[in-house]
Amino acid sequence: MKIPVVKNILNANDQIAADNRATFDELGVFVVNVMASPGAGKTSVILATTERLPKDVRPGVIEGDLASRIDADTIAARNIPVVQINTGSGCHLDAPMIRGAILNLPLDAIDLLFIENVGNLVCPAEFKLGANLAVVVASAPEGHDKSYKYPGIFAAADAVILNKADLLQVFEFDIEYFRRGIEMVNPNVPFFPISCRTGAGVDAWLAWLLEKQKSFAEDRNQSVIV
């Protein structure tokens, strides 16, 4: 009896995710679901990215955590619109949570919305939110075996960021071994080793992201014209 219940929950979530996506598309908001384990540096990646955005690309953030608003306050201090979602014991964000959060965001003043999911390498991959892209952030201190231990989240990724790449040698991180694990479940997925501390690699990640956001804007404008 448990399987139908789970399927019903996911189906209901997917319907609301589709509604979220329709809202974002209508307003021209490009949305990125950022997933990672705790401490991988999701907030740091978001901040490093927003700091380098062109002035005509306006960011916003939805912050997901079990408790507190530490990361949301850090983002708000950069004058970026942000809404906090605290899940309590929940290990992921879901589409209804996002639906509620966007009511408190000025979506008409946002072009690029980052959803920072709850730190977890299992549950977040199962729940659609209505985002255009799913990005997984790993980090050197976590070890190079994560892509083998948690294949599901890497299989669902549209891009993989390896954060704290300046520490690869310190933690004896085998980047080729890590990449092979990703390619087993997600061949040819874009892969970006970066360091938020030094800035290395961030421009390459940003260029890819902006190209995706540009394509979204062009497709939307074309559909409006038609």
Kindly state whether residue 191 falls inside one of the protein's structural domains.
yes
Residue 226 falls within a domain, yes or no?
A: no
CA distance 31 to 174: 31
Supply the pTM of this predicted model.
Answer: 0.93
CATH code at position 186: 3.40.50.300
Domain of residue 124: give its range: 2-213
CA 201/CA 114 separation, integer angstroms: 19
Q: Is residue 173, in this structure, part of any structural domain at all?
A: yes
Q: Per the domain annotation, does 218 fall within a domain?
A: no
Q: Has residue 190 been placed in a domain?
A: yes
Is 189 in contact with 157 (CB distance < 8 Å)? yes
Beta bridge partners of 138: 162
Q: Is 68 exposed, middle or buried (0-12, 13-18, 19+ CB in 10 A)?
A: exposed
Domain count, the chain: 1
pLDDT digits (tens, 9 = 90+) for 55-79: 999 999 999 998 889 999 999 999 9
| DSSP SS3 for 85 | strand
Residue 99 CB-density burial (10 A; 0-12 exposed, 13-18 middle, 19+ buried): middle
Examine residue 224 and state whether it is found in any structural domain, yes or no.
no
- State pLDDT tens for residues 93-106: 999 999 999 999 99
225 lies in some domain: no
Is the CB of residue 93 less than 8 Å from the CB of residue 129? yes
pLDDT band, very low/low/confident/very high, at 225 (cuts 50, 70, 90): very low
The Cα 217–Cα 115 span in angstroms is 19
The tokens 């952030």 sit on which residue?
137
Q: What is the pLDDT of residues 190-221, one digit of tens each?
A: 999 999 999 999 999 999 999 999 999 888 77
